[in-house]
Amino acid sequence: MSIQLSPLNEVQLKALEQLTQGAKPEQVIWLSGYFQGLAGSATLGSLAATGAGQFDSAAPTEKLPLTILYGTHTGRSEALAKALCEQGSTQNITCQLKPMDDYNPKHLKDEKNLLVIVSTHGEGEPPEMAEDFHAFITGKRAPKLEGLNYSVLALGDKSYKLFCQTGIDIDQALKKAGANELVPIVMCDVDYEEDAAKWTTDVLGELAKFQPETPTQAVSEVSWANDAEVYSRKNPFQSKVLDKVRITGRESDKEVYHLELSLEGSGIHYEPGDALGVIAQNPPKLVKEIISTLGVIDNEVVETRIGKLPFNEALEHHYEITLLTRDVIQKYAEKTGSKEVQAITDDEAKLDHYLFGHDVLDLLHEFPAKLTATEFLDLLRPLPPRLYSISSSQKAFEDEVHITVSRVRYENKGRQRYGACSTFLADRLDVDDDVLIYIDKNPNFRLPANGSPIIMVGAGTGIAPYRAFLQQRETANQKGNSWLFFGERRFSSDFLYQLEWQKYLQKGFLERIDLAFSRDQEEKVYVQHKLKEQQEELFRWLENGASFYLCGDMKYMAKDVQITLLDIIKTQGGMTDKKARSYFKKLKKEKRFMADVY
Ligand SMILES: Cc1cc2nc3c(=O)[nH]c(=O)nc-3n(C[C@H](O)[C@H](O)[C@H](O)COP(=O)(O)O)c2cc1C
């Protein structure tokens, strides 16, 4: 494409070339429809700028009104909602796209067509921004919605007990309110792209039936497989390992590694707070053990979910085998007809107990069954990429991305267990080796734009994003206004990036640091105890507009820190429980309380 022949500048031309390179014919057709709609859209620019707004297609007929609501934590539902809105705009639809926390649910009764895209977080809970909408629609005040057409796309992860619970709740509530289901709810697991694309095609097809006039444009197949995107989960970048160092002492009972990966030539851009997706590989030893237990030929070519592959390769690269999930154990019970396995799945407590620390090889050992290689693969879920909080700033390391990885290894029932990706990175990957990566954006974990105060709380590898935060602040020469609370087991062996924090303290980029080393004294000291000790000052920081960040273990640390913070707000603010809760809620709404927990 020549710059002289087009009204686009060089950067825009490059972006267009990247977008269309290798695009399939149907994608080019879709894009041409999209650009046509764009040409007639007066308000598209504002959508791009604000992330929400209205799309108007250029079609001359009366347009079909559609409201799309999304509830997201890590941004996937938002990206899908935006793409759906763009697609709708090419099909004679006036689309109102809204984050759930910016939508007054009282307006529901005025809607004609509503599509909801929502994920589930915590233990089956709505993402923060969906809490109020979820409470309203599932509560007593939900209105009758008989004139409303709707459908729900739910995002989740089958390894959680309450799979896609928020989407299910909202779907049931809309049904109960008398709304008309356009297409049944679709519940997406970690590999959500294809299911999401099918739902989108289906709902737009159903909506087309309600068009005032038959639209001239046919509903085209949508693919969120993102192969038009430069680098993504489905199309990762092949990066090189530049450096790898163990950053816990030899006497530590934890093995934490700092890895530096090259982005050279990728054009990849990330921001502090984003995560790095790494395409995982399973431990070869486990693959071998599974194959010998099944008694099949290791390189037998078998049908897999991505075509024909040697069995050992399929197990090593494409299926989850180091973890056991609810859906897998349920399928195993059904396939083998084992009453013992069924008894485990029928009892919540037994199931929880069995899921912890067991893998598919335990099932094969403890409840043997004759399965072919293909039958075995049919039981398994795809191996999802693993996400690591990025521990570098691109302002400081232009062509690099750094991560902080804790190696997962433990013993159960006399067998060593290894985490898939952490042991791949720690044990089987050396400097100069290649690794497949992509950026997983996290718009809900961002530094404040203006250098205002930040309180960073992290335990273990939860410290990673704060290293990126301080690198970023150093490059912007933003001193002070930063307070780090870090917790680990022992000062001598587990103080991750100790020298760097000391340097930041000296230079003034880090104003304060409080450390909790739980095993350095008789009684256990954790980060929440340090927060409590500093409660007066901490509340002062909050009152002065500080943003509070929380990163690390979800099960224990995150819960305890939130309880402590609420208690501090109550005590220091002299508030009732109710007032303190609404203060906390406001912090979350203003994005001054941000959590990245796992
Ligand atoms: C801390 C955490 C807790 C989660 N809890 C659940 C859950 O209880 N049920 C579920 O189906 N998915 C759960 N998920 C998976 C998310 O719903 C899934 O990653 C989804 O694609 C995220 O979409 P979003 O980016 O729009 O928030 C959880 C994810 C995280 C990180």
Nearest-CA residue for ligand 1 atom 31 is 598
Instruction: Give the pLDDT mean for 169-187.
Output: 98
What is residue 230's predicted lDDT score, i.e. its pLDDT? 82
CA dist 214 to 40, 95, 112, 203, 546, Å?
A: 19, 18, 18, 16, 54
Q: Per-residue pLDDT for 229 more than 80?
A: no
What is the whole-number distance in angstroms between the Cα of residue 114 and the centre of ligand 1? Answer: 23
Number of the ligand 1 atom closest to the C-alpha atom of 187:
11
pLDDT digit string, tens, across residues 386-398: 999 999 999 999 9
Judge contact between 125 and 161, C-beta under 8 A: no
169 CA distance to ligand 1 middle (Å)? 15
Burial environment of residue 581 by CB neighbours within 10 A (0 to 12, 13 to 18, 19 or more): middle
Residue 580 CB neighbours (<10 A): 20
Task: Give the confidence band of 12 by pLDDT, cuts at 50, 70, 90.
Answer: low
Q: Is the per-residue pLDDT at 50 higher than 50?
A: no
- The pTM score is 0.81
Distance in Å, CA 12 to ligand 1 centroid: 35
Ligand 1 atom 5, closest CA: 121
Confidence of residue 61 (pLDDT cuts 50, 70, 90): low
Above 70 in pLDDT, residue 9? Answer: no
Q: Are 422 and 405 in contact (CB under 8 A)?
A: yes
Nearest CA to ligand 1 atom 29: 121
Is 529 a residue whose pLDDT tops 50? Answer: yes
Q: Distance between CA atoms of 482 and 549, rounded to whole angstroms?
A: 11
pLDDT at 63 over 60: yes
pLDDT band at 173 (very low <50, low <70, confident <90, very high): very high
Q: What is the DSSP secondary-structure string of 404-459?
A: EEEPPEEEETTEEEE-HHHHHHHHS--TT-EEEEEEE--TTS---TT---EEEEEE
Mean pLDDT calculated for residue range 233-249: 96
Would you give the distance in Å from CA 267 to the centre of its chain?
Answer: 22
pLDDT confidence bin for 16, thresholds 50/70/90: low
Whether 196 contacts 188, CB under 8 Å: yes
Ligand 1 center from residue 482 Cα (angstroms)? 30
Q: Name the residue of 73, 195, 550, 551 to mutate for ligand 1: max ligand atoms within 8 A of Cβ.
A: 73
Residue 190 has pLDDT above 80, yes or no: yes
Spacing, Cα 188 to ligand 1 middle (Å): 10
Distance CA 8, CA 14 (A): 10
| Cβ neighbours of 579 (radius 10 Å) | 13
List ligand 1's pocket residues with C-beta within 6 A: 72-77, 119-124, 127, 155-157, 160, 162-165, 192, 554, 597-598
Q: Which of 143, 96, 101 is nearest to 115 (CA)?
A: 96
Contact yes or no for 69/117 (Cβ under 8 A): yes
Check whether 41 has a pLDDT greater than 50: no
Number of the ligand 1 atom closest to the C-alpha atom of 74: 25
Which of 131, 118, 30, 121 has the alpha carbon at shortest distance from 78? 118
In this structure, the residue with its CA closest to atom 7 of ligand 1 is 124
Q: Give, using CA atoms, the residue closest to atom 12 of ligand 1.
A: 156
Residue nearest to atom 1 of ligand 1 (CA): 598
- The alpha carbon of 317 and the centre of ligand 1 are apart by a number of angstroms equal to 23
Average pLDDT, the chain: 89
Gap from CA of 441 to ligand 1 centroid (Å): 15
> Which phi and psi angles does 425 have, rounded to 5°?
-70, -40
237 Cα: distance to centroid of ligand 1 (angstroms): 24
Minimum CA distance residue for ligand 1 atom 30: 121
How remote is the CA of residue 151 from the centroid of ligand 1, in Å?
A: 20
Q: What is the DSSP string of 331-348?
A: HHHHHH--HHHHHHHH-H
Q: Which atom of ligand 1 is nearest to the CA of 120?
A: 17
Structure token digits, residue 392: 């570098």
CB-CB contact of 500 with 467 (8 Å): yes
Whole-number pLDDT of residue 521: 94
- The token pair that represents 461 in the structure block: 């590898």
Backbone angles phi and psi of 581, in degrees to 5: -65, -40
153, 155, 165, 186: which to mutate for ligand 1, most atoms within 8 A of CB? 155
pLDDT at 422: 97
Residue 284 has pLDDT above 60, yes or no: yes
pLDDT digits (tens, 9 = 90+) for 247-268: 999 999 999 999 999 999 999 9
What pLDDT shows up at residue 54? 42
Top mutation candidate among 76, 119, 191 for ligand 1, by most atoms within 8 Å of CB: 119
The DSSP string of 35-74 is: HHHHHT-SSHHHHHHHS-EEE----SSPPEEEEEEEE-SS
Nearest CA to ligand 1 atom 17: 156
> What digits encode the pLDDT tens for the residues 99-109?
999 999 999 99
Question: Mean of the pLDDT values across residues 181-188?
Answer: 98
Torsion angle in degrees (nearest 10) through CA of 517, 520, 521, 526: 10
**Ligand 1 center to residue 425 CA distance, Å?**
24
Please check whether residue 566 is in contact with residue 584, taking contact to mean a CB–CB distance below 8 angstroms.
yes
Q: What is the mean pLDDT of residues 153-170?
A: 95
Mean pLDDT of 39-50: 37
Distance from residue 121's CA to the centre of ligand 1 (Å): 4
How confident is the model over 236-257, as a mean pLDDT?
96
The 8-class DSSP code of residue 329 comes to H
Tokens 């350095």 -> residue: 520
Q: What is the pLDDT of residues 347-378, one digit of tens each?
A: 999 999 999 999 999 999 999 999 999 999 99
Q: Looking at the chain, how many residues does it have?
A: 598
